[in-house]
Amino acid sequence: NAGVTQTPKFQVLKTGQSMTLQCAQDMNHEYMSWYRQDPGMGLRLIHYSVGAGITDQGEVPNGYNVSRSTTEDFPLRLLSAAPSQTSVYFCASKEGAWGTEAFFGQGTRLTVV
């Protein structure tokens, strides 16, 4: 059971480039989300999804797009990377509305130069 898998683990982008951070879970969880972690600020919610075809914005959604075409996958897209998006990104999943615990991927460290 792999849990939540994020790829890549590290990435360096130039300003203006685009890329997609991948997230996949094999636990058949309905809920998936993306967080960014910055020094001194904890984890902040970017976007989340309560099921295939349903997404919504979190606390810091600007500059990011998401889609949820399958239960398993929840990619995060940066259309035009900016230095302010340098951060560690975490994907998390949770079992349905009453599931308590969130399971996290190992994170992606993204640097935008």
Partner 1 sequence: AQTVTQSQPEMSVQEAETVTLSCTYDTSESDYYLFWYKQPPSRQMILVIRQEAYKQQNATENRFSVNFQKAAKSFSLKISDSQLGDAAMYFCAYRSDFSGTYKYIFGTGTRLKVLA
Task: Tell me the CA end-to-end span of the chain in Å, nearest whole number.
Answer: 36
> CA 59, CA 62: separation in Å to the nearest integer?
9
Binding residue (CB under 8 A) for partner 1 from 12, 41, 82, 113: 41
* Residue 106 binds to partner 1 (criterion: CB under 8 A): yes
Least distance (Å) between residue 76 CB and partner 1? 16
Interface with partner 1, residue 2, by CB under 8 A: no
Query: Half-sphere exposure (CA, 13 Å, Cβ side) for 60?
Result: 14
Residue 40 sits in the site that holds partner 1 (CB under 8 A): yes
Q: How far, in Å, are 13, 32, 61 from residue 48 at the CA level?
A: 24, 6, 10
CB of 1 to partner 1, least distance (A): 15
| 17/67 with CB nearer partner 1 | 67
The neighbour count for residue 39, using CB atoms within 10 Å, is: 7
Calpha distance 4→10 (Å, rounded)? 16
**Span of 20-28, 41-49, 64-72, 76-84 interacting with partner 1 by CB under 8 A:** 41-49
When asked if residue 88 is in the footprint of partner 1 (CB under 8 A), the reply is yes
Task: Tell me: does residue 12 bind partner 1 (CB under 8 A).
Answer: no
